[in-house]
Structure 1
Amino acid sequence: SSVFGDNAAPRGGRARSLYWSSDGRSLFDTGEKQGRTPLVRVDAQSGKVTEVTHGDQAVLDFSVNSNNAIVTLVSTPVEVGDLFTVSADGTQTRITDFNQKLWSQLNLTSPEEINYTSFDGKHIQGWIQKPPDFDPHKKYPLILNIHGGPHAAYGWVFDHEFQWMAAKGYVVLYPNPRGSTSYGQDFGNIIQYHYPGDDYRDLMAGVDELLKRGYIDEKKLGVTGGSGGGVLTDWTITHTDRFAAAVSQRDISNWASWWYTADFTLFQPNWFKAPPFEDPQDYNNRSSITFVKNIHTPVLFVLGQSDYRTPPDSGGEQLFRALKYLKRPTAMVVFPRESHELSRSGEPWHRIERLDHIVGWFDKWMMGVPHPEYDINPPTAANASSPD
């Protein structure tokens, strides 16, 4: 797999292929390792894994012919994807530069890798995407972007969303909290039966780490994420008021409701030890709707009308209704015809509009930019009267 987090390119029907070496003694594949996706060779007898490619990049796809000649499709934070040949010693030689003309018109910058220690000593890796012409002596607004999964990962790969948010003047922090892939099985599975929970504390430790660096405005903190990242966005704003704005995408706010309605069945006790009709308290304890009264952060919900993986009525719609009842600042955008794949392979105009809404919400609450489409228009005396 690769380290795309939530934002892989539109996915077709073809799965990635595996290739045998010409002598039949090893198998070529790709693997995740600490935010990187190298091409690897697996010894067919011993199972030993040897990295073929190296560096801060992601091998998205590859091909091997009968002579063991290798061509890879490589992505980095400043390159969507280009073809490289790979020699026996792992040396890569570029053979395409598809976006050279476009890139010459843009100011893309590589993120900074960050490694920090969480509350219990766990080491957390993440990345900081800074605005072009970043000045460490200035104060910038921060967007904490949380990946979904929860068993997925961010890493050294192109992500247009982070580059675009940075171009709008935001610093973007995108970490891999516990539960993320590419750090070993124990790190990934530690959240079993405890999700959400300590992964939230990993995320807050990352925000604290950036605040120590002095270039983040602590009054202009935003948080967003989709799917599992939406779960953690909801959880975050029910457990802290430090964020000035939040955008929750394709979320789950009520685990019991989701258990009954999602296309992702839980017939095996993977995330919960029992179904909600046998252990309702566990579901309540881990559902953000239980703590909705704690939400004071202005929150936008971005949902897909045809999302059966995280059905809207088990996620943002419940929190939206509750927050409206509580008269808390909130809005909801529902995209027609869109499934859980909205951010990845939704209709192109919807994908653009989604990004506009995410940054528009942050602009309104963190930058003071007027966005009347999110304002509540109080009724006038004429239309507030009761019908005859």
Structure 2
Amino acid sequence: MATISGSHVKRITQVNRALPVEFLAQSKVIRWRSADGLEIEGLLTLPFNYQSEKKYPLLLMIHGGPPGVFQQNFIGGVNPISPYFIATSASHDYAILRCNVRGSTGYGENFRTAICYDLGGKDFDDLMAGVDHIIDIGIADPERLGIMGWSFGGYLTAWSLSQTDRFKAASVGAGISDFVSFAGTTDCTEFMPLYCGGEFWDKLSIYHTRSPICHVNKFSTPTLIQHGEKDVRVPIGQAHQLYHALKQRNVRLSAPLFPMPAM
């Protein structure tokens, strides 16, 4: 509780009293320019015992949606749009970058709809520019980069692996790998026509060209595939397809399945 002037603050709850904030890593809002000059915002969580003279491994975390959004909130739990343990990672000396790329909520209608008909386009550029920025300001070691995401974030993770080999490891969580089979099996039947400009029988080219499965010959990054067996939004077949394709490519893999819906 605070006075209107903000000159006096009084604590009236005991929520998370056993976890003092000094035991959590610092997170801060950062901004950078994407490839086309547009300003992109995100959150950078520094390693718990951060030292400015050191360079750290960087984890790039991608939210679901697409219209999810990372916010400045408690990092000690699990966020539904990106169910990864941020505070735990920071305590193990990782820096964590969470990007609100084009398609995210909270930046206006034009920003949110900017990826329609361009999935894996400018949103991917926003991600890579964010990673470049953290390297350029001396925090991230370019030889120790990881990438992870869930749901649509899983899609962007898989897509990124088809476009670059800069990451040393990846986690694809409940990700879309094949737009055509996804369109015919998801419970969210309006998703693909909205973002691809029509049904797959009318827009087959974009369904194919923006599906990670169609670029699996470019994958080389060791990959962890995670998926819930009862997921109705992104059905388990998406994980099966990616797993079998990468196995044929002899990509280093791990693929645990969970007997519950994905988050």
Could you say whether these structures have the same fold, taking a TM-score greater than 0.5 normalized by the shorter chain as the test? yes
Paired residues, number = 254
Distance in 1 between the 2:192 and 2:172 partners?
28
Tell me if 1:98 matches 2:11.
no
Give yes or no for contact 2:116–2:197 (8 Å, CA) kept in 1. Answer: no
1:334 corresponds to which letter in structure 2? L
Q: What pairs up with 1:2-13 in 2 under 5 angstroms?
A: none
1:340 corresponds to which letter in structure 2? A
Which among 142, 151, 156 is matched to residue 58 of structure 2?
A: 142
Which among 294, 297, 304 is matched to residue 218 of structure 2?
A: 294
1:219 corresponds to which letter in structure 2? E
2:206 corresponds to which letter in structure 1? D
Q: What pairs up with 1:9-48 in 2 under 5 angstroms?
A: none
Tell me if 1:111 matches 2:27.
yes
1:339 corresponds to which letter in structure 2? P
Q: What pairs up with 1:318-329 in 2 under 5 angstroms?
A: 318-329=241-252
Distance in 1 between the 2:192 and 2:153 partners?
23
Correspondence for 1:187: 111
Give yes or no for contact 1:142–1:216 (8 Å, CA) kept in 2. Answer: yes
2:239 corresponds to which letter in structure 1? G
Distance in 1 between the 2:165 and 2:151 partners?
22
1:188 corresponds to which letter in structure 2? R
CA deviations on 1:246-287 (whole Å, 9 max, x unpaired) are: 001010010110100001112894112221123222200110
When Rg is computed on C-alpha atoms for both structures, the one with the higher figure is 1
1:124: Cα distance to partner? 0.6
Tell me if 1:200 matches 2:119.
no
CA deviations on 1:16-58 (whole Å, 9 max, x unpaired) are: xxxxxxxxxxxxxxxxxxxxxxxxxxxxxxxxxxxxxxxxxxx
Distance in 2 between the 1:171 and 1:220 partners?
11
2:219 corresponds to which letter in structure 1? I
Correspondence for 1:282: 206
Give yes or no for contact 2:144–2:167 (8 Å, CA) kept in 1. Answer: yes
Correspondence for 1:243: 167
Tell me if 1:307 matches 2:224.
no
* TM-score normalised over the length of structure 2: 0.91
1:118 corresponds to which letter in structure 2? S
Give RMSD over aligned pairs.
1.9
Other structure's SS at 1:261 match: coil
2:18 corresponds to which letter in structure 1? K
* TM-score normalised over the length of structure 1: 0.62
1:142: Cα distance to partner? 0.6
Other structure's SS at 1:270 match: helix
CA deviations on 1:217-253 (whole Å, 9 max, x unpaired) are: 2111000000110010001000000000000101001
Give yes or no for contact 1:251–1:312 (8 Å, CA) kept in 2. Answer: no
Correspondence for 2:79: none
Correspondence for 1:358: none
Closer/same/farther in 2, CA of residues 268 and 133 from structure 1, 3 Å limit: closer
Give yes or no for contact 2:162–2:216 (8 Å, CA) kept in 1. Answer: yes
Distance in 1 between the 2:228 and 2:192 partners?
27
Tell me if 1:224 matches 2:148.
yes
User: Unpaired runs of 5+ in structure 2?
Assistant: 77-84
Which among 236, 255, 260 is matched to residue 332 of structure 1?
A: 255
Distance in 2 between the 1:268 and 1:224 partners?
22
Closer/same/farther in 2, CA of residues 149 and 138 from structure 1, 3 Å limit: same
Correspondence for 1:60: none
Correspondence for 2:184: 260
Correspondence for 1:156: 72
Give yes or no for contact 2:183–2:192 (8 Å, CA) kept in 1. Answer: no
1:331: Cα distance to partner? 1.3
Q: Which has the higher strand share?
A: 1
Distance in 2 between the 1:95 and 1:290 partners?
55
Distance in 1 between the 2:64 and 2:95 partners?
20
Distance in 2 between the 1:154 and 1:92 partners?
27
Closer/same/farther in 2, CA of residues 268 and 138 from structure 1, 3 Å limit: closer
**Which stretch shifts more, 221-230 or 279-288?**
279-288
Distance in 2 between the 1:282 and 1:300 partners?
26
Q: Percent identity?
A: 36
1:328: Cα distance to partner? 1.2
Give yes or no for contact 2:25–2:90 (8 Å, CA) kept in 1. Answer: no
